[in-house]
Structure 1
């Protein structure tokens, strides 16, 4: 593989992609990618904030690690004469400490829409994708290009007609505003409010998928396509009423935000049509990307990040047994293979992967697991600070075994 395209899209809810089980919305573009790629089913973010997620990918370091001057992915690649470019339409979700280390940094701009458009080709995303292809068409090789987009966190300007396609007879009119909604929503509220927003969100996912499908068609026609891999992930999901909120200000440490899609297409393996059920996190992409460029010898000593190559070649092997989640306000959570624990008061505990959206809190019935999780969080915080964290450290039996 000579080149790598990395798409990082904000606010794309995992449950709205066909390859991840959605049957309501057609997503042929992303489904086509999934058929030819490796799909990671258990990709969990270490942080609900995009700049933190990108920092972990580009350094292989957990947000809690204090490693000033750590080697950075674009610098390592640049030192090996691999061109790096960062393309984005939203600088606020980037950390300048890392964005300035790319060889090229390109800010895409387009007027903010004030109302829904008539055609998908007129949408904000369609214009941004068109600008991406123009930039990439002139990109020197070999390269690693990061395309970081607002995605579903940007304007919802999908045509009204497209929104109405997701409404059944008797449904309320779809949400028609361009600004993404941000409001409290509980079981006592009118369900039509949520239904109207779901229709609009589905239409916006369709717009994204259509744009990606057009990009994929463009990519298949360029000369360097046979030597180019593609990574696709969401930087965080979009709360849609699962835990009392619709929009960006909802509770951050739940699966609708943290459990996001991740797909990796490698031309020499296509069509892979492979699903990985093992637990992975964004930091794992740092050594994996270096390995993709045959730079395994350049991978620095890392305590959190695990190279995903074994999962691409050996079915069933695990590279980690937990993901430690940290919010900027100090909130903490821990995801293991069989459990998701929110270190709150009172504590919350969910069985995984069965309780997909964290609805059935079993903390009161599993006090031994809660205690073990609380101890694990304390131990992991200390280990991360002391540079002694092990992604496959032996866990307490109550955590490591499947609940009955």
Structure 2
């Protein structure tokens, strides 16, 4: 019997997870999950548009790739594996209706308010259903659970965010609806502190709920444990680059704090635990991984860069490309490049400048135009289904 859970928590950046380097959040359950999993160090979502991302996931291709009719859910159904969608995000209704899902359950969302107990939060509803599913025996199945997460109500009990405040700190904010604005002036330190405490409280909530989910998995014999994938559909800005929150009415510049997401893959019995993959990975690789896990055929394409992350000996990608409106974010092993407007570019040295703080485009005149050209040529190649252009040697070498 082959089963799998994919848990996507929207708005969760890799920067707020201890195994990715965060020192100020104590998350023992998430740390345990990471220790039992294959941890993908550099996972990039290929768009922050939720509808396009899900169509990409279920088409097993980059969002810009030509539509060839492939359907992940149909491919799984053809080998007897049912694919179910569970979500509290109404924006996924159109995408869900485009694929041959065995079922789609949409959980209603009420007026947001701080919960008295973690079991009363939006996230807890999804975790509870997953725990119940673990005890069932329905044959080969994939449960794809998408939580609004950080893009929904910040409704963890207020004690969670209070636990992150020092004695001399001001009281953490009590808002439940995440703020969204584009400050023109300096952001006050107390405002940034409150944002991180409120957001961090939601991460602590995830950790509490993950403890229960892991306990339910550990209670099963290894042969009944599912493949578990935990990831995100993109981060939320918390003041970096003069951006707070995501809102459809506000402009959004894409940087690595939004595009780089956690990606943890736990095999039954924690096989391959403590494995850390350093190569570049794109969101569409998740689809190839699921097809591999269930033994379903991948789409037949002349040019297909997707790869199963269960094949640990395969090298990572040489680049990833996130597309958001007219903006492109190109990532190679040595560089991150935000390409926007009329041949404008911000350039960041990788992997040291993890969150794109130090723009070195003016200091690297030999690299910047190559990054612009490669981002645009890669976009064009993906759109036409052609082979990707060769990576210039200058974009493989760091500062």
1:47/1:401 CA distance change after superposition, 3 Å: same
Q: Deviations over 1:327-350 (max 9, x none)?
A: 1x2222211111111112542111
Distance change >3 Å, CA 261–CA 124, structure 1 → 2: same
SS in 2 for 1:101: coil
CA positional deviation for 1:81? 0.7
Counterpart position of 2:159? 161
1:171, CA displacement in angstroms?
0.8
Q: Structure 1, residues 154-174: CA drift from partner, whole Å, max 9, x if none?
A: 111222222111111221111
- Aligned CA distance change for structure 1 residues 99 and 223 (closer, same or farther; 3 Å): farther
State the partner residue of 1:76.
75
Compute the displacement of 1:49 (Å): 1.9
Contact 2:73 / 2:83 at 8 angstroms: preserved in 1? yes
Structure 1 gaps, min length 5: none
Other-structure match for 1:50: 50
Q: Which residue does 1:279 correspond to in 2?
A: 280
* CA displacement at 1:400 relative to structure 2: 2.0
Q: What whole-Å deviation, never above 9, does each CA across 1:298-345 have from its counterpart, x for those lacking one?
A: 442263442134752x2xx52310112211x22222111111111125
Q: C-alpha distance in 2, partners of 1:311/1:349?
A: 32
Whether the 8 Å CA contact 2:38–2:277 is kept in 1: the answer is: yes
Query: Which residue of 1 is the match for residue 202 of structure 2?
Result: 204
TM-score, L = length of structure 1: 0.90
**Secondary structure of residue in 1 paired with 2:164:** coil
Shift of 1:36: 0.7
Offset of residue 25 of structure 1: 1.1
CA distance in 1, matches of 2:236, 2:335: 22
Per-residue Cα deviation, 1:342-369 (whole angstroms, up to 9, x for no partner): 1125421111111111111111111221
Separation (CA, whole Å) in 2 of partners of 1:275 and 1:135? 29
1:243 pairs with 2:244: no
Contact 1:61 1:302 in 2 (8 A): no
1:397 aligns with 2:393: yes
The size of the alignment, in residue pairs, is 394
CA displacement, residues 80-111 of structure 1 (integer Å, 9 cap, x when unaligned):
11111111111214543556421111112353
Equivalent residues in 2 for 1:2-401, closer than 5 Å: 2-69=2-69, 71-93=70-92, 95-96=94-95, 100-109=99-108, 111-114=110-113, 116-134=114-132, 137-138=135-136, 140-185=138-183, 188-222=186-220, 226-249=224-247, 251-267=252-268, 270=271, 272-295=273-296, 297-301=297-301, 303-309=303-309, 312=312, 314=313, 317-327=314-324, 329-345=325-341, 346-390=344-388, 394-401=390-397
Cα distance in 2 between the residues matched to 1:166 and 1:236: 24
CA contact (8 A) 1:341 1:347 kept: yes
1:150 deviates by 0.5
Structure 2 CA distance for aligned equivalents of residues 219 and 108 of structure 1: 23
CA distance in 1, matches of 2:386, 2:197: 47
Contact residue 87 and residue 145 of structure 2 kept, 8 A: yes
The change in CA–CA distance for 1:185 and 1:214 in structure 2 (over 3 A counts) is farther
Q: Given the superposition, is the C-alpha separation of residues 85 and 60 from structure 1 closer, same or farther in structure 2, using an over 3 Å criterion?
A: same
RMSD of Structure 2 on Structure 1 (CA): 2.2
TM-score w.r.t. structure 2 length? 0.92
Mapped contact 1:50–1:235 kept (Cα < 8 A): yes
**C-alpha separation in 2, matches of 1:265 and 1:157:** 28
State the alpha-carbon separation in 2 of the partners of residues 41 and 187 from structure 1. 34
Compare 122-131 and 301-310 and name the one that shifted more.
301-310
| Contiguous gaps of at least 5 residues in structure 2 | none
